[in-house]
Structure 1
Amino acid sequence: MKKAFLFLFIALSFSSCKKDNDSDQGTKEEIKLNISYGTDNSQKMDVYLPANRTTTTPLVLILHGGAWIDGDKADMKIIQDSLLKHGVAIVSMNYRFASATNHYEGMMEDVGKAFAYVKQNADDWIVRSSSNVVLGVSAGAHIGLFNAYANKQNNEVSAVISLCGPTKTQLSSWLVRP
């Protein structure tokens, strides 16, 4: 029940982002799967574009969870479908996992490359190219928050939705023992 309420809240929040006076572009819903945004095999994204979008259609970049070492963009299907139904464009991305050779810098680079790809294709997709939203779950929320704070000057991200993302407050409370 709590999950259903949370998804409904997120969907309704974004549905209010579409202006009533936007002209109908007559666009059809489009889904583009496994687009490469980098050279690594894991640097893939799925793009979900709603029907009747305009250049002011909001876009949400979704980052899956998985403890920085697991997970897949397909895990976010419920959120993707809900947002798409409410007229929000979605980019759901995979990123390189943490390893002995890839650290948080690589994950941050992946988010940057994904945003660069979005900006490069926003006109063709008929969505806005800046002031977008990052929605992350768990490790994806951590990456999204970290990226937004590190790059707040470039106006790529206007908001971050953190679903179960580890933050300093949460980590501190885990360390305190009664």
Structure 2
Amino acid sequence: MKHYFLFLLFAYFCSFGQTSYFPHLSYGKSSQQILDLYVPNGNLKDVPVVILLHGGSWSMGGLEYTNKHAKDIANKGFVVANVDYRYINDTISAKDLLEDINFAVAYVSKNSVKYGYAQKGYHIVGISAGAHLALLYGYTNKNMKSIVALCAPSRLDSAETLELRKNNGHLDIIEKLAGSKINPNGNNPAVTKISPFSNISNIPTLLIHGNADNIVDVSQSKNLYNELKRKGVDAKLIIREGKGHDVGMNTPETEIQNIKDITEWVLLHNKLD
């Protein structure tokens, strides 16, 4: 069975030629509510559609962070929407970022007729802050076929996470993300509410994390994986030995392996409803 699946992967990856690129498409009124769309040439009827979210601590970065990864996934024959979203501030919180993702997904779906790919049943992939959003969006909206999260902050209300943010002077980022001040006594329901660990639903989830990550400890993905398995969710955890917060995405050899693992997971879960 495994050999047959590998044969199908090889046949799939070899069945597409060039990819068309449509940059900076606006899905909302904000200048940050834009996405780059990659559409492979060919019959797109059963082609996976990937929503890709960049990192940047919810407060920096843009499409340039994930531009190469979007191209690499698209070159495997996938439709990819590389999505930008607004930065958090005193009035924009996680709720608004999830709304951005929802608008972006709706935009991609609306344009499916134009390009010929599926109207629904997409997959979501995120890195760092984008991984947090991918998990939270996937679990709360339940309209994704699978999730891939690289170096994901998954339990923002844990004492370790809050202490780390406090020590590096960025506790305010979690407060803005949650839209609430942190209670030093440890009861923070607003932060729990935006933690993927507390919102798990039955969406197949691939977690990739470096065990030398000094920004988001690997225990975040290990604990989430254990909880996913406990709840019977189809899940896989890949630990990148010696890799830091970039999970090796900035190292050619490891980036190739990560892209391979991402695309194989997506293909495996791209069954028709």
TM-based fold match above 0.5: yes
Q: Give the equivalent residue in structure 2 for 1:41.
A: 31
User: Unpaired runs of 5+ in structure 2?
Assistant: 1-5, 164-273
> What letter is aligned with 1:83?
I
- Equivalent residue number for residue 46 of structure 2: 56
Against the structure 1 CA distance between its residues 56 and 172, is the aligned structure 2 distance closer, same or farther, given a 3 Å change threshold?
A: farther
Change over 3 Å in CA distance of 1:72–1:169 after alignment to 2: closer
Pair 1:108 & 2:98 matched: yes
Q: After the TM superposition, which segments of 4 or more aligned residues of structure 1 sit over 3 Å from their partners? A: 15-20, 169-176
Aligned AA (2:27)? Y
Specify the SS of the correspondent of 1:49: strand
Distance verdict in 2 for CA 1:145–1:57, change over 3 Å: same
Aligned equivalent of 2:9, options 9, 16, 20: 16
Which structure is richer in relative contact order (CA contacts within 8 A, separation 6 or more)?
1
1:85 is matched with which residue? 75
CA deviation string 1:143-162 (max 9, x = no partner): 1111111111xx3x111100
Q: Give, as a single letter, the amino acid of the residue that structure 2 aligns with 1:111.
A: I
- TM-score normalised by structure 1 residue count: 0.78
CA distance in 1: counterparts of 2:10 and 2:65, whole angstroms: 25
Structure-2 change in CA distance of 1:17 and 1:142 (3 Å) = farther
Judged with a 3 Å threshold, the aligned counterparts in structure 2 of structure 1 residues 18 and 143 are, in CA distance, closer, same or farther, namely farther
1:156-171 counterparts in 2 under 5 A?
Answer: 157-168=144-155, 171=158
- Equivalenced residue count is 157
Match of 1:167, SS state, is coil
Please point out which of 95, 108, 114 is paired with 1:118.
Answer: 108
SS across alignment from 2:111? helix
Contact 2:19–2:75, Cα closer than 8 Å, also in 1: no
In 1, the alpha carbon distance for the partners of 2:35 and 2:12 equals 27
Matched, 1:29 2:47: no
Corresponding residue for residue 209 of structure 2:
none
Which of structures 1 and 2 has the bigger CA Rg? 2
Residue 103 of structure 2 aligns with an amino acid whose one-letter code is: K
Secondary structure at 1:135's aligned position in 2? Answer: strand
Aligned partner of 2:123 in structure 1 is 133
Kept in 1, the 8 Å contact 2:125–2:147? The answer is: yes
Q: How high is the TM-score relative to the length of structure 2?
A: 0.52
- State the alpha-carbon separation in 1 of the partners of residues 157 and 126 from structure 2: 16
- When residues 95 and 17 of structure 1 are mapped into structure 2, their CA distance, relative to the original with a 3 A threshold, is farther
Which consecutive unaligned segments of at least 5 residues does structure 1 have? Answer: 1-12
Q: Encode CA deviations 1:29-48: one digit per residue, 9 max, x unaligned.
A: 31111100001111010000
| Alpha-carbon offset, residue 139 of structure 1 | 0.4
Check the 8 A contact 2:156/2:162 in 1, yes or no.
no
